[in-house]
Amino acid sequence: MGAASVIFGCEGLALSPRERDFFRESDPWGFILFARNIEEPSQILRLTSDLRDAVGRDAPVLIDQEGGRVQRLRAPQWREWRPPLDQAAITGETAARSFWLRSRIMAAELRALGIDVNCAPTCDLAAASTHPFLRNRCLGSDPARVIELARATAEGLMAGGVLPVLKHIPGHGRAVADSHKDLPSVDASLEALRESDFVPFKALADLPMAMTAHIRYTALDHLPATQSPRMIGLIRDEIGFDGLLMSDDIGMEALSGGPGARARATMAAGCDLVLHCNGEMAAMEEVALAVPPLEGAAQNRAEAALDRRILPDRVDMAAFDAEFEALISGGGNG
């Protein structure tokens, strides 16, 4: 029997004794860091080490380091990355190479801190109506373009020893509400979704991990995808994703009920892991009681994902950095 089917956040820059004891007892599969956990490199390395020590294994440590508005590591300690949509526009025909380089450099920054999973690439299709909280986090509006750049992003991360997380499956781009605050509804037909939104996710279905969308697709179900057995079935059977499937943060207000109820509904729908981010002890205690241990097919998927972590080859990072700077300054746009 494996670890608990949950990824937890923590409250601050260092583990409190209470957190250490709680994580030892609850044994979450992994952890996720946010800006509240970030100060400087040696502090982060201590924190990631302490998180792993608390559960007694090489547990994955996740972060959202997309670039643009969503990046937890920021200047002056780390590079400021352009929003993905902006970089795609700037680099034109060389965009795929630029995204591979960006992700390979990013992976080196993350691994140096003990972080080995990055919640990227975002494969949602950007539209004029896409909510601003998401739009410039997207890679483009054309499925073929998104597939190209998402593949480059994923391969750059994995070459650097960091697992990518495909998100937000099966597609968040049509949402006109912010799922942190409300449950967005998408009224497109199944045929329209198959022709556009689902396409990048089908093409990237071989990636080790994916994150669900807190979106209600009214043509299919009244429940958000994260908590819909029908939508999870579609992700597995039609989109063909057979990797480790985690929820988006169940603390987001797109979902209803208390933390325990949200966790139970998410697991009952067929997600492998619940993501709970805010680090609030009372809520984490509820979630810990609600989630089962990883076992069976879910445990196999978790092990298969972690088996794809590699020790990266030694490379000339200065040369990668110089090439990346040339591309984003227009030197490779042709």
Q: Which residues are identified as catalytic?
A: 180, 248
3-state secondary structure of 277: coil
Distance from C-alpha of 320 to C-alpha of 326, rounded to nearest angstrom: 10
Helix and strand numbers, DSSP H then E, in the chain = 13, 12
Tokens 């300690």 belong to which residue? 77
- In this structure, are residues 51 and 37 in contact, taking their beta carbons and an 8 Å threshold? no
Record the tokens describing residue 288, joined without a space: 């810990």
In 3D space, the residue among 169, 172, 182 whose CA is nearest the CA of residue 129 turns out to be 172
Q: Which helix (H) or strand (E) holds 241?
A: none
Closest CA to 179 of 222, 131, 144: 131
| Sign of the alpha-carbon torsion through 299, 47, 316, 99 | positive
